[in-house]
Structure 1
Amino acid sequence: MSRAAAAVAVGTGLALTGTCAESDWSGGGRGSGGDGLSVGVLLPGSGASRYGQFDRPLIERKLKELCPHCPAATVAATPDPDVQQQQLDALITRGVDVVIVSAIDPKALRSSVEAAHRAGIPVVAYDRLAQGPISGYVSFDGAEIGRLQGEALLKAMGPKADGGQIVLMNGAASDPNTAWFEQGALSVLKGKVRIGKSYDTAGWRPENAYADMSGAIAALGADGIDGVLAANDRLAGAVISALEAAAVRPLPPVTGQDAELVAVQRIVAGRQYMTVYKSFPAEVDATVEMAVALGRGKPVGSIATGTVDSATTKDIPATLLPSYTVTVGTIKDTLVKDGIYTIDQICTPKLRSACEKAGLTP
């Protein structure tokens, strides 16, 4: 696809996702510096996903705070890796000062990251580490997330944690976080439970997880699944739907990640055991601070807390943040306390009784 066609594709993507209007492309260009800093933001999901609910508005707000007179950031979201590559190519053509990208397919994005580097445009990897000459990286410790999920699952399984059988519902194989999460989970699960089935969920798509879980139930039997380690909340929702459709009773414990509102409500209702809470504001703050510094030609040593290596690049300045387990008994002291959700948001009329039982009262 030509550069011009790519720009059209991004403009179309912006319109579809309800992000900045086409006129926002005109703000700031390479070398404008200072208050003319132009920032491109590419996310892998919008709408009901965590990227639409939390990341996008937080990024836009933090950019406005750090650079109040800068043009509005150009923000685009897509679940398609080819479209995301076209979006990055278009940002390079536009000559933005810096790009924040959460890569759908880090390997596929490598050539565009290299093109940005040649054009003198630093790229900050957000949440997912893309390949190529990345200038900075901010995320959460993936091994810790996997460990939290594995430890919680064992606790929920009780006596069945000794030799019981579980299903691993991992994320997309193309996402390096998937292997990172799995590695952390297996560090506590190996030698304690049997892994009856393990799946890498193509595109992190819930419909694929539903199909895989249905297959696991058919292969292992309704009574042969003592727990499910689902890598995130959207996969957990699909797993639970498949279990309920197969009339599996009682539901085995299911893990999650991202603390999505519907997942928190499932936890209150007793349908999902736990989720992993990651402070998106803290992640956004570090990312935007890095991006603004790099866009202005400044070092990020005071922002990064260490370095990481990708498959292609060594010693990338990085900040890895902690994560927290959320179960029904800790919702109030984590998500509500931090202002992520209010009790009224969580406790719909249908959940009022369960909320009272969980101590979720104003």
Structure 2
Amino acid sequence: MNAVLRRALVCTVGLALTLSMTAACGKAGGAGAAASPTGDPNAIGLLLPENASSVRYESFDRPFIEAKVKALCASCKVLYNNAEGSAAKQKQQFDTLLAQGVKVIVLDPYNAKSTQGWVQEAAAKGVKVVAYDRLAAGPVAAYTSFDNEKVGELQGQALLEALGPQAAEAGIVMINGDEADPNSAQFKTGAHKVLDGKVRKVVYEQSGQWDPVVAGQKISAAVTEFGRNGFQGVYSANDGMAAAIITQLKGAGIKVPVGGQDAGLDAIQRIVAGEQAYTIYKAYRPQAEAAAEIAVALLQGKDVRAIATASVDSATDRGIPAKLLDAKIVTRDNIAATVLADGLYKASDVCTADYAAACAAAGLK
């Protein structure tokens, strides 16, 4: 083989290998593919924070959002992931959505304070982020949630009502949510606004980190420190922690009012049975459907202020379009008028065999 022919063959083989490798990289979806994503123009990302301390995300938020998106946009699809209580995992999920070319992401951040860089990166790529339930840091396009300070006020009010005439002399234990969650601070602020000056003292206050195990440990520490008669009521920031608190108090032979938040089915059953004093019902459907409406509007290039008529400020941004909803106290006396009337549960869901007698006594059928 002469030198000219040999060089031509080498070049031809080299070119073929180069084209083959390029095609393979394009199909693999690796770093090269992520750098210039094409994506599905009708895909909406949905990232929810956890599924351990509250069943609401898998039972209500996700299916309601997915159903409303489909109703508004038949060709749209939702790319869903749950962080399972890990900020690092949620960051990976967020990065994957950006790499896939998603143009709108509905984000309920596990750690809202950590999201500023994520949201800034998304904005730089033209990706709109809708903060859901918790107000993410960074330039989010819109926010949908409840008036969280008002929720805390309702929790405080419900605890005072459960304490009745002894409220003025009551010592209170407060087990708050995760300090990394801005909602926790708002719940806490609202509860203190109502409780301070109306009870004798908050004798013990700790973060339960939205973790039932941690909440159980904290209430056990309070019992050890103050004894069986050292407090007369417990504020729990949500129902998942309330369940663990009630279990620990039962074991110690203590019966005091304990309240929560989220209106989980197990919490409603505990309320019927007289184990939990109250919960806070935040109607998930209107919140979820508002998020879906905003996400679809952003995907279609529409102004979201027709939906998000309020505005809120975050630690990093001001004047964020927001849809804020109202919450309700649920006690044994108004289960039928709240969670049953709204169709969140049927009486048969609540009144299983273990709770049949308690339901009959409460007039639920």
Q: Same fold (TM over 0.5)?
A: yes
Do the aligned residues in 2 keep the contact of 1:46 with 1:53 (CA within 8 Å)? no
- What secondary structure, in the 3-state scheme, does the structure 2 residue paired with 1:325 have? strand
SS at match of 1:197: strand
Alignment match, 2:73: 67
Q: Are 1:358 and 2:362 an aligned pair?
A: yes
- Give the aligned partner of residue 264 of structure 2: 260
8 A contact 1:168–1:198 mirrored in 2: yes
Alignment of 1:189-338 (within 5 A): 189-193=195-199, 194-202=201-209, 204-248=210-254, 251-338=255-342
Counterpart among 99, 109, 112 of residue 103 in structure 1: 109
Distance 2:309 2:189 in 1: 22
Instruction: Report if the CA contact (8 A) 1:232-1:258 is conserved.
Output: yes
Counterpart of 2:345 (choices 312, 321, 341) is: 341
What is the match of residue 16 of structure 1?
A: none
Which of 75, 79, 82 in structure 2 is aligned with 1:77? 82
Local SS of the residue matching 1:153:
helix
Are the aligned partners of 1:138 and 1:320 in contact in 2 as well (CA < 8 Å)? yes
Determine the C-alpha separation between the residues in 2 that align with 1:160 and 1:95.
58
Determine the structure 1 residue equivalent to 2:43. 38
Q: Does 1:93 align with 2:89?
A: no
- 2: distance between equivalents of 1:304 and 1:227? 37
Q: From the superposition, tell whether residues 80 and 315 of structure 1 become closer, same or farther in structure 2 (CA, over 3 Å).
A: same
Distance 1:281 1:245 in 2: 36
Q: Which amino acid aligns with 2:206?
A: Y
1:297 offset after TM fit, Å?
Answer: 1.6
Inter-partner Cα distance in structure 1 for 2:225 and 2:198: 21
Deviation of 1:159 (Å): 2.1
Give the equivalent residue in structure 1 for 2:156: 150
Q: CA deviation at 1:29?
A: 5.0
| TM-score normalised per structure 2 | 0.87
User: Offset at 1:226?
Assistant: 0.5
SS at match of 1:162: helix
- Aligned residues, how many? 329
Identity %: 43
Assess if the C-alpha contact under 8 Å between 1:137 and 1:319 holds in 2: yes
Structure 2 CA distance for aligned equivalents of residues 174 and 49 of structure 1:
20
Which position in structure 2 is the counterpart of 1:163?
169
Instruction: Please give the root-mean-square deviation of Cα atoms over the aligned residues, in Å.
Output: 1.6
**TM-aligned CA deviation for residue 163 of structure 1:** 2.5
- For 1:65, the aligned partner's letter is A
Larger Rg: 2
Post-superposition shift, 1:46?
Answer: 3.2
C-alpha distance in structure 2 between counterparts of 1:324 and 1:346, whole Å: 19
SS at match of 1:41: strand
- Counterparts of 1:2-13 in structure 2 under 5 Å? none
Secondary structure of the residue that 1:329 maps to in structure 2? coil
Is 1:119 equivalent to 2:125 in the alignment?
A: yes
TM-score, scaled relative to structure 1:
0.88
Once the two structures are TM-superposed, the CA of residue 133 in structure 1 deviates from its matched residue by: 0.6
